[in-house]
A = this chain, B = another copy of it.
């Protein structure tokens, strides 16, 4: 039915080895025969059987794109952007296989034969068992989005802490002193770093955030909304709130508007990520742009190099800078 190199060999009156070499551009083969065979292959509509190649070359032609979870805590924008960017780099040299770590009970089915390389978008230390498993199996690995202190890991990430710091500085500059904070998913490293950076900025302005002004928003819309409602139930309302991502900022804005207050006149709102919708809200959200696209692109490229053996798997950490984006949702405290 389907044509194999043996079929080509028979017609070309050479051995199948010669065909294999010709199609793989081996220098051992005479230029003329090479061209003759290639032409014949094209004419016969030959496509290599990758399953056979896989077996003998010990390659799967799969690269795994893993997320800590794809069911919750990972925003649609984030997921989509990463997939787009990774796909752009990988093209059709490999299959891009999407997975959530939390889909696995155990990692026995993850092995070198199934994945030529793995790109992990890691959110929390809970991923470590996965990471060490992958490293032990010697699968080329790049960890994005979270720092892992291991001499074998290549790390690429945005500087969350510095980004949150600039957000804090901004609010101080505008004269805010009653500042609230809606955190991301607990256990996620990004939550911790954004908290750290933000509080540090405030500390430099001799400000500490009181407990009633801190809430868990879980990185999603509902979380942002209900957290903000909780915060506004206080006797003294804050004049500004920092949400650890834009989705929660969206939820928070709804809560604020429902209570009849205005943004930014009564309450200023700062988000994080610069999700694609943020500029189109009214008011447009002041936020911190996180270069997921660059991080992903760099990571995917590095992974390709790792797989091809161009570079070694030794510890390296690359930071990409965030960028503060001043829009309409924040204003001077009066």
- Which residues of A pack against B, CB within 8 Å? 2, 45, 47, 49-52, 54-55, 58, 60, 62, 70-71, 76-77, 79-81, 83-84, 87-88, 91-92, 95-100, 103-104, 108-109, 111, 113-114, 221-222, 225, 247, 250-251, 253-254, 257-258, 276-277, 279-282, 284
Contact = CB atoms under 8 A, between A and B. Distances in A.
B62 A87 contact: no
A222 B77 CA distance: 16
B276 A221 contact: yes
B70 A60 contact: no
Nearest to A253: B282
Contacts of A253: 282
A76 B87 contact: no
Given A95-B95, A254-B280, A113 B50 contact: yes
Question: What number of copies of this chain does the assembly contain?
Answer: 2
Given A51-B51, A92-B104, A225 B280 contact: yes
Contacts of A91: 103
Across chains A and B, which 5 residue pairs bring their CB atoms closest together, nearest first?
A76-B80, A51-B54, A257-B282, A95-B97, A51-B55
Contact of A81 (B76, B83, B95): B76
Contacts of A2: 111, 113
B97 A250 contact: no
A108 B47 CA distance: 7
Question: A51, A70, A80, A92 — which one has the most chain B CB atoms within 10 A of its CB?
Answer: A51
Given A55-B51, A277-B221, A103 B108 contact: no
A278 to B, nearest CB: 10
A280 B228 CA distance: 13
A103 to B, nearest CB: 7
A236 B80 CA distance: 39
Nearest to A258: B282
B113 A87 contact: no
A254 B276 contact: no
A2 B58 CA distance: 12
